[in-house]
Amino acid sequence: MRTHGWGGSPPASDDEAIARIKATTHRCVRDLGGATTIAHVATALGVSRQTVYRYFPSTEAMLTAAALDGTQDFLARMARRLRSVTEPGEALVESVAYTVQQIPHEPYLELLLNGSSLLPNVTSDTARAIGRSLLDQSAVDWDATGIDAARRGELIEWTLRVVQSFLLDPGDPVRSPAELRAFLRRWLAPAVDAAMHRADTDPRMAS
């Protein structure tokens, strides 16, 4: 760990250095979005780029680590919304609708879902981990639905792709939150119900 720079107050440990890098990354992402690089973060910290590279090998690694921290408040709010939802289709409707509603206020969600070259794409491990957290927030007994762990992975990918589509093309005119939920209940929820039914009746779904 370097002992100079850091605005005259060097961190006492590597853990503190990492925490300060991520906190500064949060500020840069709020100001610069997808244009954020290690150079921006290093300048804001008053250290060289090489100092930041000691902890994160690339801009992508730095942004990914910050994104996992930066989405925790969003996931906590989602948990409160989903903790009484027991129907799989409704859990997906609320997950998609609330995520779409919050994206303008959640820069890391936007970076993960808008195809930015600075963060992995919508099917990356980071995006899937966040998507998995969304499903896990609900009170749905996923094992009882017949949608096993492997197919829940597919469901997470599909859900992320749906959210990404609304981010890339919000529609004209843009639907209100109530209109979006009604739209998703007509088309998304029945698809989830159909997948549950097939899992119960079609032996090929178990292969």
What would the pLDDT profile of 51-96 be if each residue is shown by its tens digit?
999 999 999 899 989 988 888 999 999 999 999 999 999 999 999 9
pLDDT greater than 90 at residue 150: no
Which residues, at least 6 apart from 184, have a Cβ–Cβ distance to it below 8 Å?
A: 92, 93, 96, 97
The CA–CA distances, whole Å, from 119 to 10, 14, 136, 162 equal 28, 24, 23, 18
The DSSP result for 159-185, as a single string, is HHHHHHHHHH--TTTTPPHHHHHHHHH
What would the pLDDT profile of 119-147 be if each residue is shown by its tens digit?
556 677 878 888 888 788 889 998 888 88
Query: How much is the pTM?
Result: 0.81
pLDDT confidence bin for 115, thresholds 50/70/90: low
What share of the chain has pLDDT > 70, as a percent? 89
Token readout for 177 is: 């939150």
pLDDT at 50: 96
Q: Which one, of 108, 143, 138, 139, lies nearest residue 126 by Cα?
A: 108
The CA–CA distances, whole Å, from 155 to 52, 115, 207 equal 36, 19, 16
What share of the chain has pLDDT > 90, as a percent? 49
Q: Rounded distance, CA 41 to CA 9, Å?
A: 16
Return the residue matching tokens 């843009």.
174
pLDDT at 206: 47
pLDDT confidence bin for 116, thresholds 50/70/90: low
Q: Rounded distance, CA 166 to CA 13, Å?
A: 42
Whether the link from the prior residue into 11 is cis, omega within 30° of 0, is no
Among 6-10, 14-18, 42-46, which stretch is predicted with the lowest mean pLDDT? 6-10
Beta carbons of 45 and 24 less than 8 angstroms apart: yes
pLDDT at 198: 66
